[in-house]
Amino acid sequence: MNINWRAVLTGFVVAIALGAFVSWAGSLTESSVYLLALPGLVGGFVAGYMVSGVGNGAIHGALATIVGALVLLVALTIGAALFVGVVPAVAGASVAVLALFVQAIPGGVAGAIGGWMKRRRVREPTTATTPR
């Protein structure tokens, strides 16, 4: 299977941009914390829509969510190791790896929906004949 890394990177960038907007839009409360799932869903959908098919869309959507979360996890773990200590940073990173796999499921589902919508939208060109 060929992975379209441009689709994965685009989904990641969309998720990061939307995540920054959601986190800066307002304060997080118990009910608004569910909005933090929105960037992963939209990023997965965008990555899935850039490829065609449900299976390809699911794989690319999950990869966009996982790659994006891994980049942020590495950056935050390094920052935590520098400012808090190595042991708390490794403990937090191990919990975050579990959350990473849980986040891949909604990204994959959204990617499958995006790939399905792209497949439905792509149509073969028809030759129109005009009656004479």
pLDDT class of 60 with cuts at 50, 70, 90? very high
Q: What are phi and psi of 84, to 5 degrees?
A: -105, -45
Match 């441009």 to its residue by tokens. 6
For 1-20, write each residue's pLDDT tens digit.
789 999 999 999 998 888 78
pLDDT over 70 (residue 129): no
pLDDT class of 33 with cuts at 50, 70, 90? low
Q: Name the least confident of 50-54, 92-96, 108-112.
A: 92-96
**Dihedral of CA 23/29/34/35: which sign?**
negative
What's the pTM?
Answer: 0.75
What is the pLDDT at residue 113?
92
Q: Name the least confident of 2-11, 33-42, 79-88, 112-121.
A: 33-42
| Amino acid found at 57 | G
pLDDT over 70 (residue 123): no
pLDDT class of 130 with cuts at 50, 70, 90? low
Q: How far apart are CA 109 and CA 54, in angstroms?
A: 9
pLDDT over 70 (residue 131): no
pLDDT above 70 as % of the chain? 89
Q: How far apart are CA 20 and CA 46, in angstroms?
A: 17
